[in-house]
Structure 1
Amino acid sequence: MNLTNELMSSRLVAIVRGITREEARIAGAGLTAGGVKLMEVTMNTTGALDIIQDWRSAYEGKAYVGAGTVLNVKMAKEAVSAGAQFLISPNVDLNVIAFALEQGIDIWPGAMTPTEIAAAFYAGAEVVKLFPMASLGLGYLREIRGPLNHIPLIATGGVTLENIAEYFEAGASAVGIGSSLLPKDALKAGNIGGVAECTSRFVQAAAKPNL
Structure 2
Amino acid sequence: MKVENYPKLTVIMRGYTYDQALLIIKILSDYDHQLAVEVTTNNPDHLKVIHDGNEKYGDKVFIGVGTVLTVKHAQDAIKAGAKFMLGPQQFTEDIYKIAKENHVLTIPGAMTPTEVYSQFQKGADIVKIFPAITTGSAIFNQIQGPFGSRKLMAVGGIDLKNALGFFKDGAGYLGIGSSFFEKQDVLNLNESGLRQSIENFLNITKSIEV
- TM-score, with length taken from structure 1: 0.91
State the Cα distance separating 1:139 from its structure 2 match.
Answer: 2.8
- 1:155–1:176 Cα contact (<8 Å) kept: yes
Q: CA deviation digits over 1:38-85, x for unaligned, max 9?
A: 111011111100110121012122101000001111110000011111
Identify the range of structure 1 (30-39 vs 100-109) with the bigger mean alpha-carbon deviation: 30-39
Are 1:13 and 2:10 an aligned pair? Answer: yes
RMSD over equivalenced CA pairs, Å: 1.7
Q: CA deviation digits over 1:142-166, x for unaligned, max 9?
A: 3323223332101112222222111
Runs of 4+ in 1 over 4 A off after TM superposition: none
In structure 1, stretches of 5+ residues that fail to align are none
Percent of paired sites with the same residue: 34
State the Cα distance separating 1:34 from its structure 2 match.
Answer: 5.5
- 2:58 is aligned, of 54, 57, 60, to 60
In structure 2, stretches of 5+ residues that fail to align are none
Indicate the structure whose relative CO is greater, using CA pairs within 8 Å and at least 6 residues apart.
1
Q: How many residues align?
A: 208
1:1-211 → structure 2 map (5 Å cutoff): 1-2=1-2, 4-7=3-6, 10-33=7-30, 36-94=34-92, 95-209=94-208
State the Cα distance separating 1:205 from its structure 2 match.
Answer: 0.9
Q: Structure 2 CA distance, aligned partners of 1:14 and 1:74?
A: 23
Cα 1:74–1:44 shift into 2, 3 Å: same
State the Cα distance separating 1:33 from its structure 2 match.
Answer: 3.6
- TM-score, with length taken from structure 2: 0.92
- 1:156–1:177 Cα contact (<8 Å) kept: yes
State the Cα distance separating 1:93 from its structure 2 match.
Answer: 1.8
- 2:140–2:152 Cα contact (<8 Å) kept: no
Identify the range of structure 1 (87-96 vs 137-146) with the bigger mean alpha-carbon deviation: 137-146
- 1:168–1:210 Cα contact (<8 Å) kept: no
